[in-house]
Amino acid sequence: MFDLTLIGIGSGNPDHLTFQGAQAIRSADLILIPRKGEDKADLAGLREEIIAQVTDTPPCISYFDIPERRADDGYLRGVDDWHDAIAQRWQQAIAAHPKARRVALLIWGDPSLYDSSLRIAARLEPQPPTHVVPGITALQALTAAHAIPINDLGAPYIVTTGRRIRDEGWPELVATVAVMLDGECSFQSLEMGQYDIWWGAYVGMKQEILIRGPLADVAQDIVETRAQARAAHGWIMDIYLLKKRVK
């Protein structure tokens, strides 16, 4: 039987790895690294770079391919089936190394925030003891990069997805919204003259791109910059904060 450890690695900048995370990497017998196609080889390479920087003798690495996610049965059903398929890939990768007792995955950002690794881990059979090493969240990296607090004094904020912004509009009772997992630039569905935006891609990494300002003024710049960056790198991870203007 093996133990499973999910290690938050922040934005992928090796400097963002905590001492606890580095120790967990050094203690692992086996580290699973996902591959998402040739265009996203950099994502595996960044994980390999982090492992190399914190270990003298790297642990065994097992690669697995991320299956495609289907959406023909609806979003939630598609995600649920996708998680089942990923869990099977984990099981196969681990079974190929039966002597491994301490298995780890390096998780982009923090395993607690908009990450499905814990849900996937719960599908493993038999269920292994699972440990989490927290990492720097994308929200922390974004607000630090722009040197702003996430919320107004004593005020709440909401973390949501681009899909919900498109489908449901601006959430009630809050003036600040952080949006993750938005490949459609869903801020375009809002009354843009009412908001300011702080956007970032590859936050904390050498490729970092930051844009801020009145949404109506910078929205098109963000859309074009995002498309160019994705084409150049083959992948993109971005996040943004929106604040509603006080009338």
Per DSSP, the residues of 109-165 read B-TTSS--HHHHHTT-SSPPPEEEE----HHHHHHHHHT--SS-TT---EEEEHHHH
Residue 19 pLDDT more than 80?
A: yes
**Phi and psi (nearest 5°) for 99?**
-85, -10
CATH 3.40.1010.10 for domain 3-136: yes
Average pLDDT for residues 31-55, to the nearest whole number? 82
Ranges for all domains in the chain classified under CATH 3.40.1010.10: 3-136
pLDDT attached to residue 40:
53
| Domain 139-244, CATH among 3.40.50.11540, 3.30.950.10, 3.90.1150.10, 3.40.920.10 | 3.30.950.10
Determine the Cα–Cα distance for residues 36 and 44; give it in Å rounded to an integer. 9
Q: Could you tell me what percentage of the chain is helix, strand and coil, using 3-state DSSP and rounding each to the nearest 5?
A: 40, 25, 35
Q: pTM score, two decimals?
A: 0.87
| Distance of alpha carbon 188 from the chain centroid | 22
| Per-residue model confidence as pLDDT tens digits over 110-157 | 778 778 899 999 999 999 999 999 988 889 999 999 999 998 888 999
Confidence category of residue 16, pLDDT binned at 50, 70, 90: confident
What integer best gives the mean pLDDT of the chain?
A: 91
Ranges for all domains in the chain classified under CATH 3.30.950.10: 139-244
